[in-house]
Amino acid sequence: DAGITQSPRHKVTETGTPVTLRCHQTENHRYMYWYRQDPGHGLRLIHYSYGVKDTDKGEVSDGYSVSRSKTEDFLLTLESATSSQTSVYFCAIRPLILAGGITDTQYFGPGTRLTVL
Amino acid sequence: GNSVTQMEGPVTLSEEAFLTINCTYTATGYPSLFWYVQYPGEGLQLLLKATKADDKGSNKGFEATYRKETTSFHLEKGSVQVSDSAVYFCALESRAGGGNKLTFGTGTQLKVEL
């Protein structure tokens, strides 16, 4: 258990409304990631963070923004939700190893199922 | 760019049958290769990994060997159980030009029946 929680776990919203998903971790990990999972696509990276206020885009970042004001929280925001953003969203962390390197293993949260009507 | 191709599912097997899930990849540099497993209603968990050619990853009776010559990392298990029913994802990470990010295959659903 990597101490990752996601909230909410389920959400139904309407097209055009803003939505924020929260990923919270308790072990002070520096690297955090947001993915979406869709049938036929596997998991695709939306955004990632390598420290407080340090974020970068993944392969499917259009329509999403992120913020990391504290080490423990990584927020994913859909400014104006669309039906194409109906998906399951996973947060992940990557632990550091001794001597400042990073491991090659990511640990995933339980996911948030978002439905945009 | 990097990509991972997995066999399509679902794969349905009887308990104690032999399992193979095929995975091939395209990558720049020398990637690390992974199998993740997702049980119903849960997030992904690392099942096994291999970081260089000819390495064999193993865990819980599952094995996969990093084959550079065929760019493959097929998952195998000699005798599956009902509890192995899950979705299996092959993934790679190449540090060449892409940073430390994972590229996933589309996933293969495994159903094991009594």
How far off is chain A from B45, nearest CA to CA, in Å?
7
Among A109, A86, A103, CA closest to A3: A109
The mean per-residue pLDDT over the stretch A23-27 comes to: 94
Residue B55: the pLDDT is 93
Q: Please list, in sequence order, all residues whose beta carbon lies within 8 angstroms of the beta carbon of residue A91, skipping any fewer than 6 positions away.
A: A4, A6, A23, A32, A33, A34, A35, A74, A76, A108, A109
Each residue's pLDDT tens digit, B51-82 = 889 999 999 999 999 999 999 999 999 999 99
Question: At residue A83, does pLDDT exceed 70?
Answer: yes
The mean per-residue pLDDT over the stretch A22-42 comes to: 92
Determine the residue type at B86: A
Residue A2: the pLDDT is 66
Total CB pairs under 8 A between chain A and B: 46
Percent of chain B beyond pLDDT 70? 95
Nearest CB partner across the interface for B104, out of A43, A102, A107 = A43
What is the Cα–Cα distance from B35 to B24, expressed in whole angstroms?
12
Within 78-107 of B, beta carbons closer than 8 Å to A belong to 89, 93, 100-102, 104-107
Question: At residue A96, does pLDDT exceed 60?
Answer: yes
B7 interfacial to chain A (CB closer than 8 Å): no
Q: How many CA atoms lie within 13 A of B25 on its CB side?
A: 28
Query: Do the chains contact at B100 and A42, CB–CB below 8 Å?
Result: no
Report the chain B residue with the minimal C-alpha distance to residue A103.
Answer: B100
More confident residue, B29 or A18: A18
Assign A94 a pLDDT band (cuts: 50, 70, 90). confident
